[in-house]
Chain A
Amino acid sequence: KQEVTQIPAALSVPEGENLVLNCSFTDSAIYNLQWFRQDPGKGLTSLLLIQSSQREQTSGRLNASLDKSSGRSTLYIAASQPGDSATYLCAVLRDYKLSFGAGTTVTVRA
């Protein structure tokens, strides 16, 4: 059974600081890994998708790496802004289903 863990559970930083969010998974036989953002009471917004054959993906201030053999992914957010405050979820895909971590709740202080 796939277990996905996200560390830390919560993070508070001043505006402008870089964010580093960690995700680990127990079964490396995955098809891909997605990072999502979830705002309170809202749905999930897909941020980045990394296929199993890829090492990283970048979109604007976001960069995500994937080390499938060690079961780890890291999401970097450069120059954080108050609007980045949200819960960030990591999910791995295998056999049609996404397995989610519990998330990292980020607060960026102005």
Chain B
Amino acid sequence: NAGVMQNPRHLVRRRGQEARLRCSPMKGHSHVYWYRQLPEEGLKFMVYLQKENIIDESGMPKERFSAEFPKEGPSILRIQQVVRGDSAAYFCASSPIEGGSSYNEQFFGPGTRLTVL
């Protein structure tokens, strides 16, 4: 059973470009979470999605950031008009059961390291 897959592993963008980060959850997992790890900071929750639904996006910046998890295909985190402050490691996690459960164990991917020049 393959783990959570993320691509690309490294992404370099110039200011003003768009960044698209992809996450394929573990087989059988229908719950996806995105976290961001800024330099010298801990991981912070961004968004929780189920297939075709955004459940909780309380950690997402209000502008330029969006996420989706379509019926078919990977989850996408999209950052429009990137700025230097967006440089960070973006991690995706997945779980087989509902997010608000004591049995919820989140399995993390290797992350995408975004560098904005």
Name the residue among B41, B102, B108 with the largest chain A CB count within 10 angstroms: B102
Q: For A42, list chain B residues within 8 Å (CB).
A: 110-111
Closest to A42 in B: B110
Q: How many residues of A contact B (CB 8 A)?
A: 27
Q: Which of B55, B58, B91, B99 has the most CB of A within 10 A?
A: B99
Instruction: Select A51's contact among B42, B103, B106, B110, beta carbons within 8 Å.
Output: B103
Contact among B41, B55, B91, B104 with A44 in the assembled complex (CB-CB below 8 Å): B91
Interface of B is mostly: loop
Specify which chain B residues have a CB less than 8 angstroms from the CB of A97 in the assembled complex. 33, 45, 48, 56, 58-59, 99
Query: Is A89 in contact with chain B by the CB < 8 A criterion?
Result: yes
Dominant secondary structure of chain A at its interface with chain B: strand
* Chain B nearest CB, measured from A6 CB (Å): 9
Residues of B in contact with A (beta carbons under 8 Å apart): 4, 33, 35, 41-45, 48, 55-56, 58-59, 91, 93, 99-111, 113
* 21 pairs, CB–CB < 8 Å, chain A vs chain B: A31-B102, A31-B104, A34-B105, A34-B106, A36-B108, A42-B110, A42-B111, A43-B110, A49-B105, A51-B102, A89-B43, A91-B43, A93-B102, A95-B99, A96-B99, A96-B100, A97-B58, A97-B99, A98-B35, A100-B42, A103-B42
